[in-house]
Amino acid sequence: MDARTAPQVVIVGGGGTGGALAHDLALRGIRVVLVERHGLTSGTTGRHHGLFHSGARYAVNDPVSAVECIRENRILRRIAPGSFELNDGLFVALDDEDMAYRERFLPACEAAGIPVRWLTGPEARRCEPGLPDGIPGAAQVPDGTMDALRLPLRFFATALANGADIRPWTEVTGVTGSAGCVTGVRVVDRPTGRTSEIGADIVVIAAGPWAGIVGRLAGVDVSVRPSPGVLVAMRGRACNMVLNRLHASGDGDIVVPQRGLSIIGTSSWLADDPDDLGVPEDHVARMLAEGTRLLPALRDREIRAAWSAARPLIGDRGASSGRALSRTFKCFDHAVDDGVEGVVTIAGGKATTLRGMAETAADVVVRKLGLEAPCRTAETVLLPHTAFHRPAEAA
Amino acid sequence: MTTTVDPAVRAAGAATRVLRVTRTPRGAGGDGGGGDLARQHGRRGRSDGFEVPAGSARTTVLDALTWARTHLDPTLDVRHACYHASCGTCGVRTDGRAVLACVTRLADLPEGDITVEPLRNQALISDLVVDIEALYEGFDAVGMPLVRESRTVPGSRPAPGVEGLTRFEDCIECGLCVSVCPIEASDAAYEGPAVLAAAWRVVEEPRHADPERAFALVDGDQGAWRCHLATECTEVCPSGALPAEGIMHLRRGLLRHRFRVAFARLRVGANGAGEPGGTP
């Protein structure tokens, strides 16, 4: 495809999904401009606990998400080598109720294609001496730790090298075009205050929990609810493996080790404004109570930080809590849903499924553009995150 | 100097703090947008005051800055991602000290107004945002792997099927060490503590990177020998990466490396310049 006549796609949102989509579309020969209002990964992407999902957490209640996670887990190991702490994870049973959950958990993992191995209590404690004495056992799964900034940066770095135009500090203030047909975006370059327009054959909204706000600017209805949770980082690393509680998803049921920190997560509620979350003190207390129950070695550690991150959940308007909403993702073509041509939204999902979300959205984009251009991201090894800089001579 | 306040916060009578934030001028024809590689000298603009809720004992400078951005001035630019000292994006100077805004609590700062300025010795993009790309060019040249094979939890063993335990490198690439380095302040060409410490990590634990390349990069006039051992870099590091110690180790490693190279040449020379069958 000729670089001057190739169609142009504007991506709104510089999180993991936007970065992976910029990379996917650039590989398919499409001109990409990505705009992000603040810094890259400044929203939900950068703020998560760093869990590289095996999918086991969703095996029992959300098998679609579980299958997505294990598929993407395998692909990311191939295309982003060196980006993960691959120490595996344990789903730890603390009591009889947890052992009862095991009877559903193990077959559900197997059904989803997630490798799972049962360790006795002493075997689990040989791997993780900080676990409580006398536990009945734990299930080992291929969870890991990712760097919430540096894994997405590999997608941005590779997109940049393939010609994508990545513009952080660029805020969308509106769209161009006529009623029912969007032909571009109006932006302000925040550092200078200069305004301009960027033409687009298609605008893709990849703004996570901010997707509803961006959607309103484009005159489309995006049913994404911000569902925040509190996370607490303890100073010092108290485990090598990701530790989950072996029971249905609940508050404070995970400890993710990350560099010299141990992150306890997380709670869940529904919010209206993703820019104004707050950190409820009772949630912090619950994280500490549950986290130290799972890993008593955390007990005397100092809190390094406590913060909130908003999940982008696809709202089913009836759901009353964040946990009732699916963790899978969806792509909306607003020509179908709202009668507005030229706008696509990719929403929901997990940090681990960023590549798969991008593939789905890019498939919709190329189909709308009438092109034949297959996805190549599952086979393309990414550049290191430190490649995210423009060549010195071009500066 | 003006101070922006939220009337609702004032009316509620809650405790507040005032941030005095250095801003860059808008619409003044600056390059901005990531293209400005001129150092920040001369681009310093006005200082804006923001009155923010003092919050709880946990409220951080980053919480206060993003609150000001949401409630008082949406044009304020501040970089952030993880909120827990793991990504290294939110480095600023509060009351003159280089810190990560996300783990600097308002309650721990002396009473009175808090000045918030961008880090030094790095190109300025906007307000409190400095450009990381120069630092990344240095890291990219060194090629330090992100995942290390040392420093795992004592007494633990890998689970079945896990080849060896790993964890991410300590350095979070925040640039605080670059901001406080006295040599960086006088010479932008100096490779600086972050990149030199990364080079040491490649030498110490190469994994699949190339120690020869790292040695070659740091043995020049702007490399490891330029450091004055002021050790401000290690004192300011929020992540325990010990850049000053890394540079010291790197110098010793360079001396050993030079000796090995010279010795190998001597041996080659003694054997007749390395020519096969070169004896007269």
Domain boundary among A286, A314, A342: A314
Q: Does A230 lie in the same domain as A305?
A: yes
User: Domains in chain A: how many in total?
Assistant: 2
Of the residues B103, B130, B157, which one is the last residue of a structural domain? B130
Q: Say if A54 falls within a structural domain.
A: no
The predicted structure's pLDDT at residue B37: 35
pLDDT of residue B35: 37
CA dist B9 → A146, A160, A307, B6, B55 (Å): 39, 43, 22, 5, 11
pLDDT value, residue A315 = 66
Task: Name the nearest CA neighbour of B194 among B173, B169, B217, B170.
Answer: B173
> Among A87, A148, A192, whose Cβ lies nearest the Cβ of B33?
A192
Farthest CA pair distance, chain A: 67
Q: Which of A265, A299, A314 is the last residue of a domain?
A: A314
| A87 interaction partners in chain B (CB closer than 8 Å) | 152, 158-159, 162, 165-166
The one-letter code for the residue type at B6 is D
Chain A contact probe: residue of B84, B99, B242 with most A CBs at under 10 A: B84
- Same domain, yes or no: B67 and B147: no
Asked if residue B48 and residue B29 are part of one domain, the reply reads yes
Give A360's DSSP letter: H
- CA-to-CA distance for A329 and A21, rounded, in angstroms? 14
Q: Are residues A138 and A169 in the same domain?
A: no
How many other CB atoms sit within 10 Å of the CB of residue B280? 3
Compare CB distances from B136 to A46, A169, A388 and report the shortest one's residue: A388
Q: What CATH number is associated with residue A273?
A: 3.30.9.10
Query: Which residues does chain B have within 8 Å of residue A85's beta carbon, measured at their own beta carbons?
Result: 147, 166-168
Q: At what angle do helices A150-161 and A16-27 cross, to 10 degrees?
A: 30
3-state helix, strand, coil in chain A (%, to 5): 35, 30, 40
Let me know whether B124 and B213 are in one domain: no
Confidence of residue A328 (pLDDT cuts 50, 70, 90): confident
Tell me if A73 is assigned to some domain: no
Q: Are residues B8 and B108 in the same domain?
A: yes
In a domain, A392, yes or no: yes
Asked whether the beta carbons of A13 and A214 are under 8 A apart, the reply is yes
Q: CB–CB of A304 and B84 under 8 A?
A: yes
Supply the pLDDT for residue B31: 46
Residues of A in contact with B160 (CB under 8 A): 117, 119, 140
CA-nearest of A258, A262, A253 to A232 is: A262
Asked if residue A369 and residue A261 are part of one domain, the reply reads no
Whether residues B104 and B199 fall in one domain: no
pLDDT at A179: 81
End-to-end CA distance of chain B: 85
Indicate whether B278 belongs to any domain.
no
B167 and B203 in one domain? yes
- Considering only CB atoms, A87 lies closest to which of B89, B155, B162, namely B162
Report CB contact under 8 Å: B26, A386: no
Count CB neighbours of B28 within 10 A: 11
The answer to whether the CB atoms of A39 and B160 lie below 8 A apart is: no
Query: Does residue B122 sit within a domain?
Result: yes
Residue B243 lies in a domain: yes
pLDDT tens-digit map of B46-92: 899 999 999 999 999 999 999 999 999 999 999 999 999 999 999 99
- What's the CA gap between B231 and B242, in Å, rounded? 9
Band of residue A30 on the pLDDT scale cut at 50, 70, 90: very high
Give the model's pLDDT for residue A380.
98
Alpha-carbon gap: B277 to the closest alpha carbon of chain A (Å): 45
- Clarify whether residues A135 and A236 are in a common domain: yes
d(CA A338, nearest CA chain B) in Å: 30
Are B204 and B126 members of one domain?
Answer: no
Per-residue pLDDT of chain B (280 residues; tens, 9 = 90+): 689 999 888 888 889 999 999 999 986 544 443 334 334 444 567 899 999 999 999 999 999 999 999 999 999 999 999 999 999 999 999 999 999 999 999 999 999 999 999 999 999 999 999 999 889 999 999 999 999 998 889 899 999 999 999 999 999 999 999 999 999 999 999 999 999 999 999 999 999 999 999 999 999 999 999 999 999 999 999 999 999 999 999 999 999 998 988 888 888 877 755 444 434 3
Same domain for B98 and B176: no
Q: What is the pLDDT of residue A3?
A: 65
Whether residue B134 and residue A389 make contact (CB cut-off 8 A), yes or no, is yes
Is B96 at the interface with chain A, CB within 8 A? no
User: Token match 């010092």: residue?
Assistant: A236
> Is the separation of the CB atoms in A212 and A303 below 8 Å?
no
Contact (CB<8Å) A261/B85: yes
The tens digit of pLDDT for each residue in A119-170 reads 999 999 999 999 999 999 999 999 999 999 999 999 999 999 999 999 999 9
Q: What is the pLDDT of residue B272?
A: 57
Question: Is A119 an 8 Å CB contact of chain B?
Answer: yes
Q: Write out chain A residues lying below 8 Å of B78, CB-based.
A: 38
Looking at the structure, do residues A384 and A337 belong to the same domain, yes or no? yes
Spatial distance between the Cα atoms of A103 and A98, rounded to a whole number of angstroms: 9
Give the pLDDT score at B269.
79
Q: Determine, yes or no, domain membership for B280.
A: no
Q: Which residue of A has its CA nearest to B31?
A: A192
Query: Which residues form the domain of A253?
Result: 87-144+226-314
Among residues A290, A314, A338, which one ends one of the domains?
Answer: A314
| Whole-number Cα distances in Å, B112 to B9, B108, B115 | 18, 12, 10
Number of compact structural domains in chain B: 2
Runs of H (alpha helix) within chain A: 16-27, 44-47, 63-79, 96-112, 121-127, 150-161, 211-218, 281-294, 334-337, 354-369
Same domain, B175 and B264: yes
What's the rounded Cα separation, in Å, for the pair A357 and A360?
A: 5
- Between CA A90 and CA B159 the distance in angstroms is 9
Q: Do A389 and B167 touch (CB under 8 A)?
A: no
Tell me if B279 is assigned to some domain: no
Chain B residues 13-32 within an 8 A CB cutoff of chain A: 24, 26-32
- How, if at all, do strands A144-146 and A51-52 pair? antiparallel
In this structure, the answer to whether residues A371 and A230 fall within a common structural domain is no
pLDDT of residue A392: 55
Please calculate the CA angle B258-B262-B268 and round it to the nearest 5 degrees: 150
**Residue B233 within a domain:** yes
- Condensed to tens digits (0 to 9), the pLDDT of residues A173-200 reads 999 998 899 999 999 999 999 999 999 9
The Cβ of residue A381 has, within 10 Å, a number of other Cβ atoms equal to: 10
Residues 47-106 of A with CB under 8 A from B: 47, 50, 82-88, 90
Q: What is the rounded distance in angstroms from the CA atom of residue B106 to the CA atom of residue B246?
A: 32
- According to the model, what pLDDT value does residue A327 have? 65
B71, two tokens: 């409630």
pLDDT at B105: 98
Distance (Å) from the alpha carbon of B202 to chain A's nearest alpha carbon: 14
Q: Which of B76, B99, B130 is the last residue of a domain?
A: B130
Mean pLDDT of A65-81: 97
Which pLDDT does position A319 carry in this prediction? 42
Q: Which residue intervals of chain B are DSSP H helices? A: 7-12, 61-71, 133-142, 176-180, 182-186, 192-204, 211-218, 232-236, 243-270
Q: What is the ipTM of this complex?
A: 0.95
How far apart are the CA of B57 and the nearest CA of chain A, in angstroms? 11
CATH of the domain at A338: 3.50.50.60
CA of B34, closest CA in chain A: separation in Å?
A: 8
Say if residue B194 is in the same domain as residue B151: yes
- Which CATH number characterizes residue B98's domain? 3.10.20.30
Q: What is the band of A326 on the pLDDT scale with cuts at 50, 70, 90? A: low
Per-residue exposure over A277-303, b if at least 16 CB sit within 10 Å of its own CB, e if not: bebeeebbebbbebbbebbebbeebeb
What is the CATH number for B259?
A: 1.10.1060.10
Q: Which residue among A38, A86, A147 sits closest to B166, beta carbon to beta carbon?
A: A86
Beta-carbon pairs below 8 A across chains A and B: 203
Amino acid at A216: R
Check whether residue A179 and residue A161 sit in a common domain: yes
Residue A70 lies in a domain: no
- If asked whether residues A310 and A254 sit together in one domain, one would say yes
* Whole-number pLDDT of residue B1: 66
Note whether A106 and A248 are same-domain residues: yes
pLDDT of amino acid B237:
98
Instruction: Identify the sign of the CA torsion B50, B56, B58, B63.
Output: negative
Residues A109 and A231 in one domain: yes
SS3 B65: helix
β-pair partners for A194: A189
Lowest mean pLDDT among A85-94, A319-328, B51-60: A319-328
Cα distance between residue A24 and residue A18, in whole Å: 10
CA distance B33 to A74: 37
Minimal-distance CA residue of chain A relative to B76: A190
Structural domain including B94 reads 3-130
Residue A116 lies in a domain: yes
Counting every residue written for chain B, the total comes to: 280
Q: Residue A65's pLDDT band (boundaries 50, 70, 90)? A: very high
Please count the residues of chain A.
Answer: 395
Q: Which chain B residue has the Cα nearest residue A140?
A: B159
Which residues of chain A have a CB within 8 Å of the CB of B241?
Answer: none
Tell me if A269 is assigned to some domain.
yes
Chain A: nearest CA to B139, how far in angstroms?
A: 6
Q: pLDDT (tens digit, 9 = 90+) per residue, A310-319? A: 999 886 544 4
Q: Tell me: the pLDDT tens digits for A330-369? A: 899 999 988 999 999 999 889 999 999 999 999 999 999 9
Instruction: Give residue B44's pLDDT.
Output: 60
Strand order of the sheet with strand A165-167?
A165-167, A31-35, A8-12, A202-205, A343-348, A329-333
Q: What percent of chain A has pLDDT over 70?
A: 94
Report how far residue A222's alpha carbon sits from residue A227's, in angstroms, rounded to the nearest whole number. Answer: 15
Please indicate, yes or no, whether residues A231 and A140 belong to a single structural domain of this protein: yes
Torsion angle of C-alpha atoms B111, A283, A234, A123, degrees rounded to 10: 170
- Please indicate, yes or no, whether residues B181 and B64 belong to a single structural domain of this protein: no
Query: Please, which residues bridge with residue A333 across strands?
Result: A344
* Same domain (yes/no): B92, B12: yes
Cα–Cα distances (Å) from B184 to A71, A131, B197, in that order, read 46, 46, 15
Own/partner pairs, B189-193, CB within 8 angstroms, 24+ separation: B189/B222, B190/B222, B190/B226, B191/B138, B191/B217, B191/B218, B191/B222, B191/B223, B191/B226, B192/B121, B192/B135, B192/B138, B193/B227, B193/B233, B193/B243, B193/B244, B193/B246, B193/B247
Domain identity same for A268 and A284: yes
Last residue of a domain, one of B130, B158, B186: B130
